Amino acid sequence: MPGSTRASASIDPRPGRALRVAATLLLALAALALFGPLLSPHAPEAIDWSRLAAAPALGDAHWWGTDRLGRDVFARTMQGLRISLLIGFAAALVSIAIGLSWGAIAGYAGGRVDGLMMRIVDVLYALPYVFLVIILATLFERGSVPVLLLAIASVGWLTTARIVRGQTLALRQREFIDAARAMGVPTARILWRHILPNVAGPVIAYATLTVPQMILYESFLSFLGLGVQEPLASLGSLISEGARDMETAPWLLLAPAGCLVVLTLLLNLLGDGLRDVFDPRTRA
């Protein structure tokens, strides 16, 4: 637009070493989740009656052992990792989309519209997050991956809405927004072309921190028995199964719990690295 200047987030074009390492390892873990079951000679649901609750052993056909039903722990852990990643990333995308739209509209509209929309956010914030997810998960088809995804995402957008609203309140006072209004640019176009691109940096950084949060909530619901149901498995449901046999078969808990710890650690490192890229002032 002639005569206007679009603000942009401060971006460091040189990603740090930690960011590169975290991104590489995360891609490797995602590839393992996608192709890992193909590396195992056993299907996740296949039962080996001769190897019930077998411990991991070098040279054994079951690298990570078997569970109490004789199913291969490696194949089931890779299946659980794939489902947890799917739910985590999809729920994060849905929640970010809702929070981005809600916060941008509230911040740009201001006045009573802003007050009403943010009071709704405050009311939802006051309610226990996990309680809301449990209610949504029990009202609909129990154990369905799409329902579980929507239940987690439907209440995961609140923080994003507040972040975007604060950024939008600052941007709506800028000269290039005043110039767009003076030229008669429609509100929807201002939001799409000028507001959203300028809040994308913080939102992208926060989105990577939202993914592990969604995965942990899914794991918690699966641990309670409200998440993914048999014959499918997620990391949470596998941890729940492993916790029951922790004393007699600790590998059933260590395998999925170890994957969950590594996954959340890499996602948090990725989020910290992206935050530094989009705002180098946050670096020490």
Q: Which class does domain 25-33+65-282 fall in?
A: mainly alpha
Query: Where does the chain have alpha helices with state H?
Result: 17-39, 73-109, 111-126, 129-139, 145-153, 158-171, 175-182, 187-190, 196-223, 235-244, 251-278
State the maximum Cα–Cα separation within the chain, in Å, rounded to a whole number.
77
Residue 222 has pLDDT above 80, yes or no: no
Both tokens of residue 212?
């592990």
Instruction: Provide the pLDDT confidence category of residue 215 given band limits of 50, 70 and 90.
Output: confident
Count other C-beta atoms under 10 Å from residue 108's C-beta.
Answer: 20
Whose tokens are 């799917």? That residue is: 86
> What's the token pair of residue 158?
């609140």
* Contact call for residues 237 and 167 (beta carbons, < 8 A): no
Give the residue among 100, 106, 97 at the shortest CA–CA distance from 169: 106
SS3 244: helix
- Single out the residue of 201, 164, 209 nearest to residue 281, CA to CA: 201
**If 0-12 CB within 10 Å is exposed, 13-18 middle and 19+ buried, where does residue 281 land?**
exposed
So where are the chain's domains? Answer: 25-33+65-282
Beta bridge partners of 72: 66
Work out the number of other CB atoms within 10 angstroms of the CB of residue 131.
10
- Please state, as a whole number, how many other Cβ atoms lie within 10 Å of the Cβ of residue 284: 3
Q: What is the pLDDT of residues 18-53, one digit of tens each?
A: 778 888 998 998 888 888 777 777 888 888 888 887
- The reported pLDDT for the residue numbered 283 is 47
Confidence check: pLDDT of 245 > 60: yes
Query: Residue 72, SS3?
Result: strand
| 71: nearest Cα among 49, 88, 90 | 49
Q: What is the mean pLDDT of residues 150-164?
A: 83
- 262 or 37: which carries more pLDDT confidence? 262
Contact 224, 208 (CB under 8 A): no
